Amino acid sequence: MTTVTMTVNGKTVSGEVEDRTLLVEFIRENLELTGTHVGCDTSQCGVCVIHMDGKAIKSCTTLAVQASGSQITTIEGLATGDELHPVQKAFKEHHGLQCGFCTPGMVMAAVDMINRLGPNLDEATIRHELEGNLCRCTGYHNIVKAIKAAADEMAALPQAAE
Residues 67-81: what's their mean pLDDT? 97
pLDDT tens digit sequence for 36-48: 999 987 888 999 9
Tell me, what's the pLDDT at 162? 47
Tell me, what's the pLDDT at 161? 46
Dist CA 58 CA 162 (whole Å): 18
| Domain 86-156: top CATH class | mainly alpha
Mean pLDDT computed over every residue of the chain: 93
Tell me, what's the pLDDT at 159? 60
Residues 17-42: what's their mean pLDDT? 95
Residues in the chain, total: 162
pLDDT tens digit sequence for 93-151: 999 988 989 999 999 999 999 999 998 899 999 999 999 999 988 779 999 999 999 99
Residue 64: pLDDT band by 50, 70, 90 thresholds?
very high
Residues 5-34: what's their mean pLDDT? 97
Is the CB of residue 120 less than 8 Å from the CB of residue 139? no
Residues 81-101: what's their mean pLDDT? 94
- The CATH number for 2-76, chosen from 3.40.50.2300, 3.40.50.300, 3.10.20.30, 1.20.1600.10, is 3.10.20.30
Residue 5 has pLDDT above 90, yes or no: yes
Nearest to 147 by CA among 72, 97, 74, 77: 97
Task: Report domain extents, the chain.
Answer: 2-76, 86-156
Q: Can you list the alpha helix ranges (DSSP code H) found in 7-117?
A: 23-25, 64-67, 86-93, 103-117
